[in-house]
Structures are given as structure tokens and as C-alpha cells.
Homo-oligomer: A and B are copies of this chain.
Amino acid sequence: MALLVEKTTSGREYKVKDMSQADFGRLEIELAEVEMPGLMACRTEFGPSQPFKGAKITGSLHMTIQTAVLIETLTALGAEVRWCSCNIFSTQDHAAAAIARDSAAVFAWKGETLQEYWWCTERALDWGRGGGPDLIVDDGGDATLLIHEGVKAEEEFAKNGTIPDPTSTDNPEFQLVLTIIKESLKTDPLKYTKMKERLVGVSEETTTGVKRLYQMQANGTLLFPAINVNDSVTKSKFDNLYGCRHSLPDGLMRATDVMIAGKVAFIAGYGDVGKGCAAAMKQAGARVIVSEIDPICALQATMEGLQVLPLEDVVSDVDIFVTTTGNKDIIMVDHMRKMKNNAIVCNIGHFDNEIDMHGLETFPGVKRITIKPQTDRWVFPDTKSGIIVLAEGRLMNLGCATGHPSFVMSCSFTNQVIAQLELWNEKSSGKYEKKVYVLPKHLDEKVAALHLGKLGAKLTKLSKDQADYISIPVEGPYKPAHYRY
């Protein structure tokens, strides 16, 4: 795929797989809108006043149908938008086509190479002469990372002419980042510096990206304000939990058609994602074993009737392995060699380093048989026994299915819209420093409230007398900040 930017008749830039899928994408976007009441309510409430008038927003977030509804909510509120995906497999090509044709600049397709991925990220950040975006919607923090690394390199370059050396790292992905920056130094040695100066802030979608932000805050290296959307209750306790409860079995079924009932499923990690995955497997009739490092989460698992054991103890008994830890080196190639024939191995947590893909790919004599895209059987030479790896170790719900369903993404993305509005409205007030913030609870509660009507749920109203009795306002927020839901 030649990496050339294309343009619509209206002049909008894009690079997608197949523009002819735009009509199909539009139909699915229209279906999704009915399932995304929070976003549609934002259009109704804020659309008339065009609060994002003049704002340039770059997004780096799975380019799916649901994201399309997010993007068109941002544009409905007045923003100009450029978008890339944050995962090489997660783009839905028809969604990308519809948005590119109708609403925003998109650089994304399903099955990017890593090099293509970073090219797309760079394109999404490139607003031409005017510099970078005003706001970033980030997922996993790659757009934020690129700017931070760019600024660091530009400072070094300014100081002593140092140019980043891609061979200085073993990490092939980070080599690409350094290469991009190295190239941009040649054409514009202040590209990222100008970008960060313009930037009002970022709202970050996931645990992994949020962790990076808190580390930068702790190190004093964070370059602009950030809103941690991940830790809104209506995000982390909904999308992570209920989203994965839906999309893990979806991905398994689409990729392998395997019967889940009767099988033994191993879930590495029992955080929100692991809880959703374990619930899904248990409900589908599997026997579930969980691994945990955290004794509290482990004890929660036991209370649900799940067995808690380390991978080593059960690796030969399990049919379906799922990583949800957000950490690395969870399932190593040595584990894989001990697995049952045709055991399924997949990741729904984090990057592809939860599973030792590198160890697998480089195992002497290993044979890869692609059943269909994102479903590979890897056969070990000695045993002739194989395992089935989904989405090359990357997020299987996005690689093998269509990610989380619209309704739960509406919760997450309504938080994003509110966070972006907050950053933009307060851009000159000084309210937000170069720190990481969580949305206030009343906005979190508002996001939830916007989703109840669609499900026929009706709230009970607190009387003034009752509100006084428990010392909270009648209209909320109803819980203290530390409340765990």
C-alpha cells in the first residue's frame, strides 16, 4: 500500500482501504446512533451553540463505527477533526470510508504495518502550516508519546545537535518513532515544540495511556493538561467490564467458532477487563481459572466461584487463554509449548507483549498456518501440536470482532466529548495545569443518566428531607469521591 495521502472532492485528506464502502459504513453509523444516546444527547444539548467552533481535534483511537459517531458528534459541535487508529487491526474499513467521505480526515485501515501505523499517526497530527491540533483524543497514548518524544529530541537537537538514533533501541516500534522524529528534525526542528505549545490538552481513553500520563506527571515531564477519561466510573466500570463481557465471546466465536461451553478458560488478571471476561466465559458454560498478583482481586474471584491459580499450575489443562493484565510477558513461548493441541491464545488487555509473540515467531522450526486473517495456527516442530493465536497477540475483540458494542462505547465517548469540552472551554482560564485530571463526579453521573432512558430505566427521586438526612444534594453528586461502585 503506497503511503500517499488522497483527497476527497471537497479537498479533505484521507487514506483508507476502500472508499466504496462508505455507504455501508453510513448505514451502520445510523444504526449505531440509535444505540449511542449519550452522544446524541450531546449533539442536541451542545450542537446549537457550536462550542468547538475553531477547534482542531486530532484523534488516535480505534477507527470503528462507534468512533465514527464520536467524530461526528465532535464535528456537530463545531470541531475540525483528523483521525487515525490506535491499533493496526482495529479499523473498520467501512467506518473509515464513511467518515473520510463525509466528516473528517481519516488515516486508518485494518491490517496496517507498524510503519504504516506511525505514518497514519503523524498524518493525523499534521494540521499543515498552523502546526498541530488544539486538542487530542488519545487511546493508549501514542499520539501523546510522539509529541513528547519529538519535543525531547528537538530540545536535545537545539542543545547539542544530537539526532535520535533508531538503532539505540531493541524495540522495533520505538525505532519507528525515532525514525519519524529524525526525519522531521530535518524539515522542521521545532515541529513538535510548536505542536505542544498550541495544544490545549489531551483526553486519554485507557489504563495504559493513563499510566503513562501519571508517570510523566510524577516525573515532571508532562507537557500539557490531560483528562483521564479511563477512570470515570462510566468508562472503566462499563466499557472495560461490560464491553469485554460482550466482545470476548464475540471475538472467540468469529475467529474460531469454538464451543465455549464445557471448556476450561484461563483469564490472566481479574481487574475490570478480567472480571468481564471471566463473567462471559462462566456464563457461556466454561470452567474459569483466574490468575492474579493482587490478593484483593484474587479474593473477589474466589467469591464468584472461580479458581485462582498461576498459569504454570494449569497450562496443560486449559482450552482458552485470555490475557487482561496490562502487563507484559504473561504467556511465554515456553507456556505455549505445554498447551493442549489447538488451545486458543488471545489478548484483550493491552499491547501484544502480554503474549510472547516475539518468542513464538522466532521459535526454531515453528510453522504458522493462517486459517483466516487474525486467526493463526502455530505448530511446534517437535510435538506437531499447535496453538491458535488470535489477532497476532493484539486486542482480539478489535482484531477478530468489532470491538465493544455501541451502547457501552456511548458511555465512554460521552465522557470524551465532555472532557474535550471542558479542556476547550477552560483553555484560557488556567483551571487546568500540566497535570492529569479526572472528570468531576456530577459529570460522571450525567453520562450515566443520559443512557438510562434508552433502557427504560427510571430513577427514584430523593426528597429534600432524605437528601439532608444523608447530607447530599438532591441533585447529586450522590457518592463520595472514593466510592467504588
Contacts and interface: CB of A to CB of B under 8 A. Distances in A.
A11 B401 CA distance: 40
A285 to B, nearest CB: 5
A433 B341 CA distance: 45
Nearest to A65: B257
Contact of A445 (B296, B300, B481): B296
A215 B480 CA distance: 12
Interface string A17-42: 00000001001100110110000000
> How many copies of this chain does one complex carry?
4
A452 interface: yes
Query: Contact residue range for chain A?
Result: 35 or more
Given A253-B253, A485-B296, A485-B297, A246 B233 contact: no
Interface in A447-485: 448-449, 451-452, 455-463, 465-466, 469-471, 476, 478-482, 484-485
A372 B463 contact: no
Given A24-B372, A246-B259, A479-B294, A34 B237 contact: no
A261 B238 CA distance: 11
B296 A233 contact: yes
Contacts of A328: 466, 469
Nearest to A454: B262
A331 to B, nearest CB: 12
Interface string A279-295: 00011111110011111
A146 to B, nearest CB: 20
B455 A28 contact: no
A131 interface: no
Contact of A305 (B241, B288, B445): B288
Given A34-B342, A242-B303, A295-B448, A237 B313 contact: no
A309 B457 contact: yes
Contacts of A282: 305
A166 B438 CA distance: 48
A68 interface: no
A151 B287 CA distance: 52
B341 A457 contact: no
A329 interface: yes
A348 interface: no
Contacts of A294: 445, 476, 478-479
Contacts of A242: 259, 261, 285, 303
Nearest to A326: B470
Interface string A363-386: 000000101100001000000000
B485 A329 contact: no
A406 B258 contact: yes
Interface string A190-225: 000000000000000000000100110000000000
Contacts of A371: 24, 27-28, 31
Contacts of A262: 302-303, 305, 407, 455
A299 interface: yes
A214 B308 CA distance: 37
Contact of A261 (B28, B259, B305): B305
B478 A293 contact: yes
A469 B462 CA distance: 46
A294 B455 CA distance: 15
B369 A449 contact: no
B448 A299 contact: yes
A402 interface: yes
Contact of A302 (B293, B327, B457, B479): B457
A190 to B, nearest CB: 31
- 9 cross-chain pairs, A with B, having the tightest CB-CB distances, nearest first: A259-B405, A283-B283, A308-B457, A295-B448, A259-B407, A295-B449, A294-B478, A484-B484, A262-B302
Given A242-B261, A245-B285, A268-B460, 14 more contacts: A27-B369, A31-B342, A31-B377, A241-B303, A249-B250, A253-B405, A257-B405, A262-B302, A262-B303, A283-B284, A293-B459, A295-B445, A296-B485, A299-B451
Interface of A: 24, 27-28, 31-32, 34-35, 65, 211, 214-215, 231, 233-234, 236-238, 241-242, 245-246, 249-250, 253-254, 256-264, 268, 272, 282-288, 291-311, 313, 317, 326-329, 341-342, 369, 371-372, 377, 388, 401-402, 405-408, 411, 438, 444-446, 448-449, 451-452, 455-463, 465-466, 469-471, 476, 478-482, 484-485
9 contacts: A35-B259, A258-B407, A261-B407, A282-B305, A294-B476, A294-B478, A299-B457, A308-B457, A484-B485
